[in-house]
Amino acid sequence: RIPVVDSPKARRLEYRCPDPGANVYIAFAAMLMAGLDGIQNKIDPGDPMDVNIYDLPPEKLNKIGKMPRSLYESLEALQADHEFMLKGNVFTKDVIDYWVDYKMEEEVQAIDSRPHPHEFSLYFNY
């Protein structure tokens, strides 16, 4: 997202999809590596969209790529596509493999084994 500003010097890019609980050092390094990969490989980012995506009909919304909706989906995406992160030895395959394994074992399984607060609200009155 590039917000409208009065001064060109105040222009900035906002990338809003990282989880607020993410390790900022790893997240910023990974986002920078992804951006550099896009520039080096001339990956077309697509045309800008100046619409509220929540107002789009389902047939148009389905044509837009979607971000992972959970930690599990994010880790699956990382496992499937991380070659760009290995360039320049910013990350190593061992670090990525360890990160994915740790998150799957310590966080995904812990989350999946506990009921969500919404599940409680379906069955219990507070």
Q: Is 76 part of any domain? A: yes
Structural domain contains residue 85: yes
Q: Hey, what are 77's tokens?
A: 């995406």
Q: Which of 82, 67, 78 is nearest to 104 (CA)?
A: 78
Residue 39 inside a domain? The answer is: yes
Closest listed residue to residue 72, CA positions, set 103, 49, 97: 103
Coil/strand/helix, residue 92: coil
Reduced to 3 states, what is the DSSP secondary structure of residue 90? coil
Domain carrying residue 48: 8-123
- Read off the pLDDT of residues 33-59 as tens digits, 9 standing for 90 and up: 999 999 999 999 888 878 888 899 999
What pTM was computed for the model? 0.74
- Report yes or no on 34 lying in a domain: yes
What pLDDT digit, counting tens, does each position of 81-110 carry? 999 999 999 999 999 999 999 999 999 998
> Residue 2 domain-assigned?
no
CA 46 – CA 84 distance, rounded (Å): 20
Q: Considering its fold, how many domains does the chain have in total?
A: 1
Residue 58 belongs to some domain of the structure: yes
